Structure 1
Amino acid sequence: MRMSTHSRHWTSIAAVTLVLWSGGNAYANYTPGKTTTPSGPSGKANNQEVSASVSRIKVTQVSGPTGGKRGSISSTDVNWTPPPCWYEPVLTPEQLKALSEENGLGYVGPHTSWGGEKLWTDHYRDGKDAYNYKDDSLTTVKGYKNYNIGKDGYFWRGVAPDTADPESWDCERVMFWQDAGQVPAVPNAPTPKTLAEYAYDKIQVPDTEIELKPEAKSTVNAPTWVWLDKGTFQEVKVRAELPNTNLYAETTAKPVALHLEPGTQDSETFPGGGDCEINEDGSIGTPYVKGDAGRTPPCGIKYLRSTGGGEPYKLSASVTWQITWEGTGGAGGDLPDGTFETTQDMNVQEIQSVNR
C-alpha cells in the first residue's frame, strides 16, 4: 500500500532529523514550490555526482535522420509514463571519500541530502548506522568502514527525473554499496526495460512536412492530394546504456501511419477517418500528377466550405511511430505508440461559375 505524498515527505524528514550527529546538519529537499540543490563538492566529485535528478544513462542515436527539424514524440497511451525513479551506480569509494571529507554536502536519495562532513564520515567511514527509508518503512542500515576503499564496486543511489512526482519517493534508500558487475536486488533496480522507457522521450523524429497539391490553397469540393515521398520517414533507433553495469537497451521508432485533421468539420478525408497507411517503399499516399484532378486521392482532404478571406483552417498532420525495444540478455518488447504532429495554414477558395 502506498503512503500519501504528504506522509512520505514527513517520514523522510523525520528520518533525516534522526540521523543528526554533532558536527553536521541534515535536511530533506522539501520546500513547497521550491527545489533546493546543494552546491557541488570539491575534489574528485562533481555536480552530477550529487544531483538528485541527473541520470548517468547515456543515450546515443544509432540510426535514422539526424539533420533538419526534429522533435520528441508523445505517447498515444495517456496513462503511460516513463519510470519515476530507479537506482544507479554513482560513486567509487575514492569519490565518496572526496565528497565526504572535502565538502560533506550532497544527496543520499532523490529527496534527501546530507549537509555537514560528520554525517557522511560517521556512516560511510566510521561504520555508524544510519536511518533509512525503504519499502514504505523507516529502518536502519549498517555503516561502512573507510568508504569501502580497496573494494571493487560502487555506491548506488536513487535517481528521479521529476522529484515532484509522488512515485519518485519509491527510491529513497540511503546511498548503498554494490559489488562491481552486479545490479542490486532491490525494488526499482534498473533493468533493460527501464533504459528503454527512459530513452522513449529522448527519441527525436523528423518534422512532418507533407506535400500538397494544390499547395496551401485549396478549392471547395476539389480534393487536395497529400503525400510523403519514400525515404522521408525512416526508422529512428537510440541506444541507452547505464555505465558501470552491463545494462543496455535499443529503442526503435518505426513510422506506420499518417493522420490528417483538416481543421474544420466542413471537410472530408481520404481515406475516411484520415489515416493514411505507409506504403511498402516507405512513402505515404501517391504524388499528384497532371490529369488526377477528377480522381479521389488515396490520401487527402476535401474542404466543403471556403475560408472566405477569414482565418485559414489549421491542417494538422501527425505521424504515428511504432515503438519497440531490445536489450541485455535478449530482453525486448513493445512500448506505446508515439505521435509527432505539425500544423499548417490552409486557405480555401470558392470558384463561382457564371452561366450565360
Structure 2
Amino acid sequence: MLPGIAYAEGWGDKGAHGDSKEQGDLAGDTASASVEVEVTTSGSAEGGGSGRLTPVGNWSPPACWYAPKWTAEEAAQTRLDGMVDLSPQHDADNAESMKDKYIDGDHGAFNVEKNDKGYWWGAYKNPARLNDSASMECTEMPFWVDNGDEPPADIENVITPEILAQLAYEEIRIPEGTATLQPADDRLVVNLPTWVSLDDATFHPVSATASVDALGISATTTARPVGVRIDPGTDDAVTHPDSGQCPLGDGGIGQKRPAGAEGTPPCGVTYLRSSEATGPYPFQATVTWEVSWTGTNHPVPTDLPSGTFGTPQDVTVKEVQSVVR
C-alpha cells in the first residue's frame, strides 16, 4: 500500500502501514478512493513474472502525487482530534488558519455536509522511492475538490491518466525465462557456435492497469519484447551478430538450431576459451521491451521509456582435445 505523507498538523496516516498486496495494489492506508494497480497479462501464455523492468535512460515514475484520500466524514472522524491535539505545536496564526480552513468552514468541520459531493485530496508516496528526497516534495496540505471539478491548477503532480500509466510501469512483472542454448549450456565447447533463442511462449506482452475509482480514470501500460542483447560473460567470445543485438522474429527471439545445421547462427555466441580455469561464465540474455500506454480519454498508444530485463545463467565451456596420428 502507498502510505500517505505524515503531516505534523495531524493529517498523517495513523497506525502501521500494511504490506504491499501480491497483485501490486497501490493505495493510501486510510483512503476510501484508492489508487489501485492490478498486474495482468495478455495472450494465452501463463501469467506474468516477478522481474521488474529497468527503464532505459535517466527516467523514473513520480516520487509522490496527490489523489482523493478521504471522504468528509472520514476526515472529520479520524483527523479532528489529531489536529486539535497537535495545534499547540504551531504558532497562533497558523493554528487559527487551520481551524478556519478545516473546522469552521462553510460546510462544517471538514465539509461533512458535502460528504457525498467530493473528497479531501492528500499526498501519496511512491513505495519504490521512499528513500528518495523527491518523495517529500508533495507538501501541500490536504485540499477539498468537489466531484466533477478539477483540482487547483497551481498544484503539481495531481493524479492523471499519464501519471497512472507511469505508476503502472513499475508494477509490470517480466517473465524470468532463461535463454535456450544449443548445444546445452553444459555441453558447450570452444570454437563451436552456440545458438541462442527465447521462446515467444515465455516472452509475450505483459501489462498493468492503474485506476482511481473515485475519479473514473485509468491507464494501462503494456510492455512488448522487441529484441535481446547477448552478453557472453567473458571477453574471450564472439557474438552473432557482432553487435550482440538479436531482433525479435517469427516464433520468438533468435532461432533454435535445426538438426545438422552448421555455420553461424542468426543469434548466438562462439566461445574462444574454456571456462575450466575460471569457472562457469555468467552468460546473460537481456531482453529489451518497448513500453506504451493508453488510458481515459487517451485511446492512442503513447510511448514510455523502453525497459530491459535479463536473467543470468552460468555456462560451462569445455575444450575438446584432438589426437593427431
TM interval, shorter chain, is 0.7 to 0.9
Task: Tell me how many residue pairs correspond in the alignment.
Answer: 292
Q: Which runs of 4+ in 1 moved over 4 A?
A: 26-29, 140-143
The one of 111, 120, 128 equivalent to 1:148 is 111
- Write the mapping of 1:38-49 to structure 2, written as runs, cut at 5 A: 38-39=14-15, 48-49=29-30
CA distance in 2 between partners of 1:242 and 1:90 (Å): 10
Q: CA deviation at 1:166?
A: 2.6
The one of 31, 39, 54 equivalent to 1:74 is 54
For residues 277-321 of structure 1, give each alpha carbon's deviation from its aligned partner in whole angstroms, at most 9, with x where no partner exists. 111x341112112211x3110011000000125411110111111
Report percent identity of matched pairs. 35
Q: CA deviation at 1:215?
A: 0.7
CA distance in 1 between partners of 2:194 and 2:306 (Å): 28
Q: Is this contact kept in 1: 2:39–2:171, CA < 8 A?
A: no
For residues 33-86 of structure 1, give each alpha carbon's deviation from its aligned partner in whole angstroms, at most 9, with x where no partner exists. xxxx7427xxxxx98118xxxx93211234335537531111111x11111111
**Partner of residue 41, structure 2:** 63
- Write the mapping of 1:337-352 to structure 2, written as runs, cut at 5 A: 337-352=306-321
**Partner of residue 287, structure 1:** 256
For residues 243-275 of structure 1, give each alpha carbon's deviation from its aligned partner in whole angstroms, at most 9, with x where no partner exists. 211221110100000111000000001111211
Q: Which structure 1 residue ranges, 5 or more long, are not aligned? A: 1-12, 17-25, 30-36, 41-45, 106-113, 120-126, 132-139
CA distance in 1 between partners of 2:200 and 2:15 (Å): 51
For residues 152-185 of structure 1, give each alpha carbon's deviation from its aligned partner in whole angstroms, at most 9, with x where no partner exists. 1000011122444232333211111110133413
| Letter matched to residue 142 of structure 2 | M
**Partner of residue 165, structure 1:** 132
Q: Is this contact kept in 2: 1:49–1:90, CA < 8 A?
A: yes
Compared CA separation, residues 271 and 47, structure 1 to 2 (3 A): closer
The normalised TM-score by structure 1 is 0.74
CA distance in 2 between partners of 1:334 and 1:272 (Å): 29
Q: Is this contact kept in 1: 2:64–2:124, CA < 8 A?
A: yes
CA distance in 1 between partners of 2:176 and 2:96 (Å): 56
Q: Which structure 2 residue ranges, 5 or more long, are not aligned? A: 1-5, 17-26, 89-94
**Partner of residue 275, structure 2:** 307
**Partner of residue 198, structure 1:** 167
Compared CA separation, residues 163 and 261, structure 1 to 2 (3 A): closer
**2:294 matches 1:316:** no
CA distance in 2 between partners of 1:60 and 1:223 (Å): 43
**Partner of residue 215, structure 2:** 245
Q: CA deviation at 1:117?
A: 7.2
Secondary structure of the corresponding residue to residue 204 of structure 1: coil
Compared CA separation, residues 62 and 289, structure 1 to 2 (3 A): same
Q: Is this contact kept in 2: 1:249–1:326, CA < 8 A?
A: yes
| Letter matched to residue 181 of structure 2 | L
